Every structure is written in structure tokens, then in C-alpha cells.
Chain A
Amino acid sequence: MKKLKATRVISQIFFFLLVAAAFTVLTFPIKFIDTKEFFLTSPSLLIFSEISAVYLTKGMAVLLIFIIIAFLFGRVFCGWICPFGAVMDFFVFLLKPLRKYKESKPDKKLMIKYYALAVFAVLAVLGYQFVWIFEPITVFSRFFHLSLFPFFNAVTDKFFQYIIMNHDFGENIYYAISNNIFSARSISFKYSFAFFVLFMIPLLAAAFRRRFWCRYICPLGASLGILSVNPKFALRKKACSSDCGRCEQICRSNAIKHDGSYISSECVMCMDCTILKCYKPIENKKPCQKEIVQNSGLCQRQNKGISRKQFFLWISGAVAAIYVLVRKAYAASHFSKNSVIRPPGAMKEKEFKAACVRCGNCMKACITNGLQPVMFESGFDGIWTPKIDNITGYCEYNCNACGQVCPTQAIKALTPEEKLKQKLGKADIVKNVCVPWKDGIECLVCEEHCPVAEKAIKFVKEIINGKETDVPIVDADLCIGCGVCENKCPVEGRKRGITVNPI
């Protein structure tokens, strides 16, 4: 069945291109697609982020479709749709000459990903969300948005700049590209290299084991694996009396056992084995065949009453649920101060860190390039969450892009009117840096830029160095903390005459 395999490859290419194209055009203003959809395909991502921050999004409805698909067909998402999987398969193809490895049976390490998932689940109940480290879709988008795209943007810019300046050619082409695809400025992000490394590790691992990531680590794969313990439609083996073992070696997921049976929760439905003639594709099979019960070790279909194991699971589930609710109540009554300036409409500090999956959507969409990943400024559980860095950019008054593209709604999708009223922080004059306060030189840049109609920055007369000077002061009630004053302050360097502090 070469055809089936070819169809799978085409589907992978198609979805990869679709995702890549959507990520590429994700700039302000948000066009026909805001890429949120792609993140809703992942149960581990969505469920854990919602448990750890205790909230519920509409995205759950979309997720249901993918859960049903997993129930019916198994991990087709992994083999046919996942863009990260597609890249990995491509790397496997590239690295073929390097691979001198034979599948060994049985592979006990396959369970690692389930243990990891359990750890993530416990952390989520405790209010910490760390799946983002391994979640393939966010790893992919993080790399794409924060590392690959800035690179692509810079290279195209420089290339065209070079030929326009030196050969007076290509100007129209350049403006057509940059106006439609790029953000109005070339963007760059901190920690680009780290995102690149994080992306490369699984790809390199593919040189030693095909689909290394999907087998041992991937939380998305694990969550789909649990759902597809016993899919309704699955591969079926014809009677086989030979002991050739080719099916074992051909399987990229190490899902086929020596006796020819296979573990459906490991199978990514790549259809490679169907070229062997002894495997038939997709057939409606009877529910929970005996061998699958034993092989997968996860199918719990017993006709007895509740077992001790189940009882224990139920109890711990209930305890976890109660704990989560208590945590929610506690969080609602406690005000947490932001550690850094968060985007407009962001959840409260602790919930924000838990709900944000570090996909980089908001940072890519931010029109001023002001949203940057943080490292440790907001604690170990806040790594790579976005903050507004008022030196690289600021929050543009009429923009609400970040909330529109946040897949987990860690940043709320604000209407333009709501956005104008968001208070992000509060500006403070730094009197030993601000030029009028320090030297008595006239300067009104911050006041000029203040977007609030009544002006949150006012001028008062003050005697500086024996000279009467207009000096700026901040009206805390009017200030929305957008940071444009800090950004435009003509004092060079990172220490400006006015800074916005988080509230």
C-alpha cells in the first residue's frame, strides 16, 4: 500500500506548510488566521494550562474534535498532522546515512513519556505548568516566531537593502514583501539561540532513533497515546507464520512486537508497515482484543467491579480537584503584584505564568517588538513568559494584537475600547537622569508622546540650577503605563529619565 504512505507524506507536507505560512503572516493587523487554532489541537497543552491556572476556555470545544479522532483512529495527529513530527521525519530522511541502529525489543523506555506526563499533571495540580518545555507545538512555534522568523526577516531586509542601495533595484518587490508579510519593523528577540537549541535537540536525536521525541518524551504524544489505547479503527495483521521480523524493523515508533501484534498507543499511523502486505490498513475491529489489553498495559476493560487501583485513582483525582478549587479561591482573594510589565489584559501574575504556554504568538504579533521573553525576572516558573520591554518597544495605544492571538487566553482578547483603559504599570520620573530635573535643559518628549488625552505627564515650574525650568511630573491616576515615554526618552542607554514600573 504505497499509496497510503504517500498520502501520509503529502498530508504532512500540507500541514507543515499551512502552519508555517500562518505563523509567517502572523503580524499586526491580524489577518484571516490568528494561529490560535493550531494550539487547540493539543490536549496536554490546553488541559494542563487550564488546570494550573484554573480557568476554562472555549478552545476546549475544538480540542474535543481531536480527542474524538484519537479515540477512533489512534495517534493519526502525530503521524499525519503534527508539523514538528513532519520536520522530524524530514530529518530522519536527511540523517539516514548516520543511522546504524537496529530496533531492539522490547523497548521499556517507551513508558518514560507517560511518567513525564504524570509529573506534569501533578505540577499542574499544584499550580505550575511546565509542559511548555516539551510540548511540540509550542516548541515549534517558539522556534519559528522567536528564532527563525527574525532571522528570515533580517536576511531578507539586508539583502534587499543591499541591492536597493547599490543597484537601485527591487524597491517595489521589497515593499510588497515587507508590507504584507513582515511587521513594520524588523523584529528581534532575546534568547533566540536557546529556542533554536531547544528545537534542534529532538531533531538531532532523530539521527539515533527515528521519532525519538515522539517515543520517549512528547507530552502531546503521551496524552494522545492514552486516548488511543484501543482505537475503533486500527491496523490489522494478517496471519503470519514466518519469523522475518521486517515489520519490527520498519516501524518508526517501535510499536510492533516480535509476535506481530502492535501497541496501538505507540503507533502514529504512519502506514509504513502497510507496504509489507501482511499488514492491512484501517479496519473496524472488535473492541479491546485480549492481546491489546495485555500488550499496551493501559487498557482497563475488566468486567469486575472497581479494582483497588481504580479506587486509588478516583480518590487521588477527587483530592486533586478539591485542591485545585481551593487554590482558585485562595488566588481570587489574594492580590499578586506583577514582577514585570505584563501585556494588556494579562491574567494575574501567578495564573499568568501558569496559563502561558510560551508559544511566542504575542511576541511575534506585538507591533512595536516590545514584548520580549523574560528569563528569571519573574521567578523560575516564569521563564520565557512575555513582558513589555520599554526600551525595545512599548505598548501602542490603539493595539490589542497580543490578546487576539494568545491561544490559552493568558492574555485576554480585549476589544479596542477595553484596551484603552488597561493599566499596565505606572511611570515614575528618575530625577537624577531626566534632563530638565538634572540640568535644567528644556525637553518635552515624554509629554509629547503621552497618548492619554488629558496627558498623564504634566509640566510644573521648578528652579533647577538657579533657572526656572519646566519639569515633568506624572499624574498616577491618568497614567496607563504604556511605556511610550520611557521608550522615547532621548536619554541614551537603558537608564531613562522616566521608567514604568509594574503594578
Chain B
Amino acid sequence: MNKKIEKAVSKAKKILSTELTRKTFLKTLVAGGAFLAFSSNTAKKVFAQNGKTIDPRKKRETPIMDYELTAVTGGDIEKITRQSVDLLGGMGKFVKNGDTVVVKPNMGWNRTPEYAANTNPAVVAAVVKMCFESGAKTVKVFDNTCNEKKLCYQNSGIMEAAKAAGATVFYMDDWKYMPARFMRVDALMQGWPLFRDAIECNAFINVPIAKTHGHGTLTLSIKNLMGICGGNRGQMHWEMDKKLPEVYDFVKPDLNIIDAYRILTANGPRGGNLKDVAMKNTIIASSDPVLADSYVSETFFNIKGSTIAHIKRSQEYGLGKFYSSANTKIKIEKI
């Protein structure tokens, strides 16, 4: 043992004492320079996760709830958010002690809250607080933004609000995406990179904002999950109606809380014109995305849910049922 150490020491001494010759020096310099120049590109390749894929999220049994959908209207955002979840049966139904929870708002745009392009920070904060009250260990908040991450996180006000509520807020860096392995072989999204943290969690709470998207269609809870996809997201727009239900099914959110406090009625999803913003002061909660989305589109945008391609596909896919005032157990409240 001792001899080994001695040997190593003498070797090190030898290396250190060899005089720095011009040649070796130049060599190291050139090597270093080349490394410097190509590092960012090569490093990406070297450290790329080879062959690792990610499987669909394992969701807990959907608990029996008092209502299928709740819609609470009022002036105090935190109150109505809490009430909407409490009427369903409380956050405790979805979040258990020691859970890692993902709260996924829409903060894709570099806009302040009054433009209704991003989920209201107060809603996100209220949801985060409720998760902690139900015993969550960590609550993660993130979104793959369309504009520059830093600006979206800051200007949407969500970073600050969620952090104050105790959540861990971080950027979705490229390297944390993994190719998804869909169970259906014909899935269009087969192999698409999805965000690891969104899949590896105990509970997933989807917190979208209600707004228009393009001409006529809406972005609600199903569309909100685009924010966990990586890759060339623009290409998801090609045959988007078929791709969205697949992603939703892959993630299987436990609960959707739609922020309709302010809604964007035109020029979505980015907005930018205060004229297009309408106050509805409502929060909708449901664990059935088709139900929630069709309810919101019918009540706030006057569009039948079944006419929106991706919602219709989701229903066909088996994600839920359409809203109809006759046979939906719904609770509407004003506070």
C-alpha cells in the first residue's frame, strides 16, 4: 500500500518537474483551443442520453368526487380557486403526503398578467399552497415557453408568485427531455421528446388559462400539455388535433383547473391587446379534460366543444365526455 503511494507521488513529481517545452506547450494550447471552439456542440452529443426512453405516467386511481365539474365565480382569485377544488372534494383527493407534485400553468408568453396570455399568477400560487396543505413534499412549476424563458417566467409573474408559495420553479432545459414510448404503436407522437419531470411525479395538476388560439379554436386544458413537449414544437401543429390527445393520455393529469378569471377572446394565444381581454372571474375545476374544455368553450366563447377538432378527437380517444347541461353533475357557485 505504502509503496503504491510512494510510486504515485514520485510519478506525479516527475510529471510536474518535466520542463515545459515549447512543443508540448503549443500542443496543449492548440488542443485547448480546439476544445474551446467545439465544446458546446460536441458536449451536446457526448452527453446525450443514448437510448433512454420514457414511459407513460402511472396515475393513481381517479378518486370518487362529489361533482364532475365545478365553476366558482367571485372577485378574490385565491378564494374562488380554493372553493372550486374544495367543492370537488378537496386537494387531498389528488395530493397525498410526501408527494412530488407538478403544477403546470401556461406561461408561454412574454406578457404581463393583464393581457391574459398566461395563467394568472394568483391562481398558480393558490394551487401550490393547496398542494402543500395536502402534504406535498415538493411542488414543481415549469413550462416550455414560446418566448424567451427568462422573460416569460418573470413577466408572467408566475415565477415570483409560485416561489413565494414555496414551489420550485425552474427552466425546462433541453437535456431533461426524453423520447416518449407510447403504448399505441400507431401514435403520431411516438418518440417525441417529453419533459422528464412532468412524467416522473406523483400528482400532476394542469392549470391552463382560457384563451383563443389561432382563428376560432381555443387553448384549454388539453392544449396546455403542449408545454411539456420538446423538439420542434411547431411541427406539432401539423395534425395537431390527433397529437394533443396522445400527449394528454401520456401524462394523464389528475386535475384540471382552468383559469377563466381573465380570458382572451381574440388574437390568441399571444394577445397583446387589452381590448381582447374579458373579465369572467371564474375558476373551473374538473378531472375530465373534455368535460372541462367543452364547458368553458360553450359558456365563455359560445363555441360548441364538439366543433373544436382536438377536443372532439380527445372524446373519441376516450379521455372524457362532452358537457351537456342535462347529464353532467356540475356545481356552479358565486361567492
Chain A contact residues, CB within 8 Å of chain B: 28-29, 94-95, 97-98, 147-148, 150-151, 153-155, 157-158, 161-162, 165, 175, 178-179, 183-186, 188, 192-193, 196-197, 200, 204, 207, 367-368, 396-399, 435, 441-445, 447-455, 459, 470, 484, 488-490, 492
Which of A185, A367, A443 is B237 in contact with, Cβ under 8 Å? A443
Give min CB distance, A440 to chain B, whole Å: 11
Q: Determine whether the beta carbon of A396 is less than 8 Å from that of B234.
A: no
B105-149 contacts to A, CB under 8 A, are: 110, 146-149
Q: Is B1 an interface residue (CB 8 A)?
A: no
Q: Is B151 an interface residue (CB 8 A)?
A: yes
Q: Determine whether the beta carbon of B40 is less than 8 Å from that of A455.
A: no
Q: Which residues of A contact B269 (CB under 8 A)?
A: 448
Given contacts A193-B34, A200-B33, A367-B151, contact A151 B39 (CB under 8 A): yes
15 A–B contacts, CB within 8 A, in A order: A28-B151, A98-B22, A148-B36, A150-B39, A161-B47, A184-B148, A188-B40, A196-B36, A396-B110, A435-B238, A443-B238, A444-B214, A444-B237, A448-B146, A451-B110
Q: Which residues of B contact A148 (CB under 8 A)?
A: 36
Q: Is B164 an interface residue (CB 8 A)?
A: no
A448 to B270, CA, bound (A): 6
A188 to B44, CA, bound (A): 12
Q: Which residues of A contact B22 (CB under 8 A)?
A: 98, 207
Which of A147, A399, A443, A451 is B36 in contact with, Cβ under 8 Å? A147
Q: Determine whether the beta carbon of A399 is less than 8 Å from that of B151.
A: yes
Identity of the chain B residue whose Cβ is nearest the Cβ of A154 in the assembled complex: B40
Number of B residues, CB within 8 Å of A: 48
A183 to B36, CA, bound (A): 19
A489 to B110, CA, bound (A): 18
Give min CB distance, B30 to chain A, whole Å: 9
A441 to B236, CA, bound (A): 12
Q: Determine whether the beta carbon of B273 is less than 8 Å from that of A396.
A: no
Q: Determine whether the beta carbon of A200 is less than 8 Å from that of B29.
A: yes
Identity of the chain A residue whose Cβ is nearest the Cβ of B235 in the assembled complex: A490
Given contacts A188-B40, A445-B237, contact A367 B47 (CB under 8 A): no
Q: Determine whether the beta carbon of B47 is less than 8 Å from that of A158.
A: yes
Q: Determine whether the beta carbon of A492 is less than 8 Å from that of B232.
A: yes
Q: Which residues of B contact A451 (CB under 8 A)?
A: 110, 270, 272
B34-89 contacts to A, CB under 8 A, are: 34-41, 43-44, 46-47, 49
A451 to B270, CA, bound (A): 7
Q: Determine whether the beta carbon of B238 is less than 8 Å from that of A441.
A: yes
Top 3 closest pairs, chain A to chain B, by CB:
A490-B234, A193-B37, A453-B272
SS of B interface (majority): helix
Which of A162, A207, A397, A445 is B147 in contact with, Cβ under 8 Å? A397
Q: Determine whether the beta carbon of A367 is less than 8 Å from that of B148.
A: yes
Q: Which residues of A contact B215 (CB under 8 A)?
A: 444, 459, 470
Q: Determine whether the beta carbon of B47 is less than 8 Å from that of A442.
A: no
B205-235 contacts to A, CB under 8 A, are: 213-215, 232-235
A158 to B20, CA, bound (A): 31
Give min CB distance, A185 to chain B, whole Å: 7
Q: Determine whether the beta carbon of B170 is less than 8 Å from that of A175.
A: yes
Residue-wise, chain B 144-177 has the 8 Å CB interface mask toward A (1 for contact) of 0011111100110000000000000011010110
Give min CB distance, B42 to chain A, whole Å: 9
A179 to B150, CA, bound (A): 9
Q: Determine whether the beta carbon of B237 is less than 8 Å from that of A453.
A: no
Identity of the chain A residue whose Cβ is nearest the Cβ of B196 in the assembled complex: A165
Q: Determine whether the beta carbon of A490 is less than 8 Å from that of B36.
A: no
Q: Determine whether the beta carbon of A450 is less than 8 Å from that of B270.
A: yes
A184 to B169, CA, bound (A): 13
Identity of the chain A residue whose Cβ is nearest the Cβ of B149 in the assembled complex: A184
Q: Which residues of B contact A492 (CB under 8 A)?
A: 232
Q: Determine whether the beta carbon of A454 is less than 8 Å from that of B234.
A: no
